Chain A
């Protein structure tokens, strides 16, 4: 048996788990590539939201009274509740990664399901917030029909509120789909200390979704 020969022949051995793709020489290389890919994707996400944050900042600077008046229509309690729910979900996601790394299949499924439950709670709270706004006519752009405004231009705030929380909500839904897929794979015993890249990179994505909300919450709900 050759021991110290460089990886020139390793590719022919098929790897340590059935999940090693043929074009990688070893699992660690595949794992690193997956992580680089996810980090790059997260960069694109930050820039995608960044455009909206910049637009919000500029419009806020130009219409401070309208934004101030409009943000009083938001329910701070609901927003704070959702912030807590997402923070908990990030914690359970970290525990999921830990459970996968240490090959604890049952705990992995449990923590993933808890994460999924938190995400679901977030969406339910969001649903009640949205339907309340719809009911009062606090809608984006030309659909804004709220009566009795003293400060004009409040629709601009709700344009950004719905675009930014809407885009964030789509990301939560996509994250839920990814986590559900992880549960499905975890139940089939795919993940162990030898292979847990999907759990890890979904975790990275989930933390970013959480982080974006951490910025959205004060920006929308806590203007002063």
Chain B
């Protein structure tokens, strides 16, 4: 392969310093408006909080090793799973792909110099850091034990740092909105000349659909969280039945955001996979428009299914049946994507590089996560499975497994572009296997536990559940080993000299046409699109002729 070979392509002589080197100094990073630097700072922040949230996850699993108290008391356990959930949701999974990889890659894929509003982009990073600091500061106030969903009336009556944590999530919402506004404006106005909507790489479609949800759903969460603060500070009464309010109203408001937010987590993952699979199959993507439109369909349908979280919260059976039907309906665009990815791989020239290994892991894990969602969408089975480990396992497959494995796929895919260096491929393959095995070992037993009646968030459990809990805990150690190995070889790659080729994977999208790493302005002059994003036909298209991607 071409890794480690100094790039000697025409027209890219090394007379510009790359964006990592120029300008120099910490201050230049903290005040940068370069989307690539902001993307990297987001990425490292997200990875830091992934480590923190992951340590909490390991503590939870360790506590559940035995049916009684193992390492912490019940109150501490409640705080630990709340912090795990809040950190992983608001600080890791939601910003992981859009704000980190999206910021880095989107303008490059579009052939643009930057996002539409670079200063707003930097502001979003600072807002993120502010929210993160507030979330961490709740520890000083005795932590939060409500679970990351902040259900009323418990969240309006319990002590500790609930107000601060809720405000932190409110602030973090702004960083998400800023990113969403930026991406939509960027995709509308900054595509390279010649790049119509259907010549955009599918990553951009995924980011567009994600941004739609960020804009339409996040403000509703914002006002809901403010209402919790108002309830706690002023006793306004909206969620308190003693004052004439309604706690179920909170659940409606909360899930009106938080179910679409699930798609803020999965659509960007699908966006990454849509880039990785054609590149490593050396084949035009199958069903370009179907994948593009299914992203938008998921984004819009995602707003109509929120009450499937509330089938047992006292909703009318008629409303339940409608939400159940709509939830089944949303499986269709997800399945369309999976079939199209598989059809893309079929008879392709597949090379099992690290990003592709992660993409294949994603296909398996997402399929398990998606199919188990149908059990929960069905009213009758949901009554049995609601608030059990089956739900825990389902959303970890979709949110954690799919999102973080896609994040790893994207990081391994664009690492050479980000840093001009390559990681150790053997170690990458080994750690991908460890992560895949560890993840399934952690969460497959939880499906069984849930279907047998193990409730979520419980500190103690019946002795008959112990075998499966032990398997799950050992799985969490395998998963952690894989992730630490990944961290080790990625950091070790910095010891190599920079020298990656512009296009180490043979990709056809625009980011591979500039140097690795790019200069601050991304391209030498304005790139003009000359072939489709997945044009892998053997004969290169003649210069100046524009071709469709499908």
Contact = CB atoms under 8 A, between A and B. Distances in A.
Nearest to A12: B525
Given A8-B528, A163-B236, A40 B244 contact: no
B184 A59 contact: no
B218 interface: yes
B190 interface: yes
Contacts of A155: 237, 243
B528 A142 contact: no
Interface in A25-63: 25, 29, 32-33, 36-37, 40-41, 43-45, 47-52, 54-55, 58-59, 62-63
Contact of A51 (B189, B219, B237, B525): B219
A115 to B, nearest CB: 25
A2 to B, nearest CB: 14
A156 to B, nearest CB: 5
A9 B389 CA distance: 59
A7 B237 contact: no
A156 B246 CA distance: 12
B219 A58 contact: no
Nearest to B211: A40
Interface stretch (B53-61, B111-119, B446-454, B463-471): B111-119
A23 B112 contact: yes
Given A6-B528, A9-B526, A141 B235 contact: yes
A47 B116 contact: no
A102 interface: no
B185 A37 contact: yes
B234 A142 contact: yes
B249 interface: yes
Interface in B175-198: 177, 180-182, 184-186, 188-190, 193
B238 interface: yes
Given A141-B236, A159-B230, A159-B234, A47 B193 contact: no
A40 B215 contact: yes
Interface in B85-107: none
A45 B118 contact: no
A140 interface: yes
Interface stretch (B131-139, B220-228, B362-370): B220-228
A140 B238 CA distance: 11
Given A141-B237, A163-B230, A33 B218 contact: no
A142 to B, nearest CB: 4
Contacts of A51: 219-220, 222-224, 227, 253
Count class of interface residues, chain A: 35 or more
A36 B185 contact: yes
A7 B526 contact: yes
Given A37-B116, A43-B216, A55-B227, A141 B184 contact: no
A127 interface: no
B234 A40 contact: no
A11 interface: yes
Nearest to A36: B185
Contacts of B181: 37, 40-41, 44
A141 B230 contact: yes
Interface in B224-259: 224, 227, 230-231, 234-238, 243-246, 249, 253
A24 B219 CA distance: 29
B193 A8 contact: yes
A143 interface: yes
A36 B215 CA distance: 13
B528 A59 contact: no
A33 B244 contact: no
B255 to A, nearest CB: 13
A87 B431 CA distance: 63
A12 B235 CA distance: 59
Contacts of B222: 48, 51
Given A8-B526, A48-B222, A55-B227, A36 B193 contact: no
Contacts of B177: 41, 44
Interface in A3-19: 6-12
B118 A23 contact: yes
29 contacts: A6-B193, A7-B193, A8-B193, A10-B526, A23-B113, A23-B115, A23-B116, A24-B190, A33-B185, A33-B189, A36-B188, A36-B189, A37-B120, A37-B185, A47-B216, A48-B220, A50-B219, A50-B220, A51-B222, A51-B224, A51-B227, A51-B253, A55-B238, A63-B244, A141-B234, A153-B243, A156-B243, A160-B236, A160-B238
List 10 A-B pairs, minimum CB-CB distance, nearest first: A51-B223, A142-B235, A159-B236, A141-B235, A141-B234, A23-B113, A47-B219, A23-B114, A48-B219, A141-B236
Interface of A: 6-12, 21-25, 29, 32-33, 36-37, 40-41, 43-45, 47-52, 54-55, 58-59, 62-63, 66, 140-143, 153, 155-156, 159-160, 163
